[in-house]
Amino acid sequence: MEESNILTEKDGPVATITLNRPKALNALSSALMNELADALEGFDADDGIRCVVLTGNERVFAAGGDIKQMSDSTAADMVKRESPSPWRRVAKTRKPVVAAVSGFALGGGCELALACDMIVASESAQFGQPEIDLGIIPGAGGTQRLTHAIGKARAMEMVLTGRRVEAKEAFEMGMVTKVVPAESYLEEAKELARTVASKAPLAAQLAKDAVLKAYDGTLDAGLDYERRNFLVLFSTDDKEEGMAAFKEKRAPNFEGK
Ligand code: CAA
């Protein structure tokens, strides 16, 4: 039987979703993203659940979009997978979602954590947007949510250089809610989720909705804009070269074509 890309469990009013592709460092294939969106919609519809924790494993939260899947994808393939985009479905979750991040949160993995409402990071967590090294750009909110979280100057540096930042720096920049010892990140995230779950559930949902509205008007248009630029880059030679170089474990040679 094929293993599921995510695992789910319920503990009272808190549900936990665990990304479960450890061999691929939890690369976010379209199958995984669709399962994740289905699970979140299921918990949204479940009156017994009040808050969700989203996590990976100790080594990696998620190493980004699935480069092996994307390397064979044309812009047309990518557009076809967008209807509806599981990323947009994930972002529409009404109940609060806490990301429990340990290890790598790169590319789409960083963007997925940023799409959650709070991030509890292990001291070992590393965040980054390395898409530039693949000849593409962040395509799931990195240029938008990251910029809202840490400001233009620092977002620009992360997106243009691909530099990874450690948990402490991410906290100082305003990307994460708190940094905790590696051994307790998941338990701390669940504790935070239990606190949220102890509050009035409708108030919690509408509080989340209102906080997101603080930048939503510009965020929606920004996300569409980002996605278009991301998809356009799937018709360039540099994307082919960047992703081939990743698979062949060598440095890319970009020619601007
Ligand atoms: N997609 C597909 N497979 C991936 C992957 C990804 N994003 N990240 C890692 N893997 C695979 C590797 O290919 C490798 O597979 P094999 O065993 O078959 O060779 C396996 O996971 C283990 O990875 P590494 O051997 O590379 O592990 P490492 O410890 O040496 O390095 C790492 C870890 C630094 C995270 C490195 O794997 C890496 O740089 N990954 C890619 C990160 C990245 O570029 N993410 C952005 C993706 S694009 C994106 O996310 C677009 C978007 O906006 C949605």
**Is residue 3 assigned to a domain?**
yes
Distance CA 159, CA 156 (A): 5
Strands 165-166 and 126-128, by their bridges, are: antiparallel
**Is residue 196 assigned to a domain?**
no
Amino acid code (one letter) for 83: S
Task: Output the CA 25–ligand 1 centroid distance in Å.
Answer: 6
**Is residue 118 assigned to a domain?**
yes
The pTM (predicted TM-score) of the whole model is: 0.94
**Is residue 210 assigned to a domain?**
yes
**Is residue 141 assigned to a domain?**
yes
**Ligand 1 near 24 CB (within 6 A):** yes
**Is residue 189 assigned to a domain?**
no
Q: Which pLDDT score is estimated for 76?
A: 86
CATH number, domain containing residue 138? 3.90.226.10
For residue 133, give the nearest of 79, 63, 220 by alpha carbon.
Answer: 63
Partner residues linked to 124 by β-bridges: none
Closest ligand 1 atom to the C-alpha of 230? 53
Task: Output the CA 75–ligand 1 centroid distance in Å.
Answer: 21
**Ligand 1 near 68 CB (within 6 A):** yes
CA–CA distances in Å: residue 36 to residues 86, 189, 248: 8, 18, 29
Q: Which pLDDT score is estimated for 163?
A: 98
**Ligand 1 near 192 CB (within 6 A):** no
Domain encompassing residue 111: 1-183+201-257
Task: Output the CA 106–ligand 1 centroid distance in Å.
Answer: 9
**Is residue 93 assigned to a domain?**
yes
**Ligand 1 near 25 CB (within 6 A):** yes
Task: Output the CA 46–ligand 1 centroid distance in Å.
Answer: 34
Q: Which pLDDT score is estimated for 140?
A: 95
Q: Which pLDDT score is estimated for 253?
A: 92
pLDDT in tens for each of the 257 residues of the chain? 567 999 999 999 999 999 999 999 999 999 999 999 999 999 999 999 999 999 999 999 999 999 999 999 998 888 888 778 999 999 999 999 999 999 999 999 999 999 999 999 999 999 999 999 999 999 999 999 999 999 999 999 999 999 999 999 999 999 999 999 999 999 999 999 999 999 999 999 999 998 998 877 788 888 888 998 899 899 999 999 999 999 999 999 998 88
The residue whose C-alpha atom lies closest to atom 32 belonging to ligand 1 is 63
Task: Output the CA 62–ligand 1 centroid distance in Å.
Answer: 9
**Is residue 123 assigned to a domain?**
yes
**Ligand 1 near 86 CB (within 6 A):** no
Tokens of 184: 């307790």
The total number of structural domains that make up the chain: 1
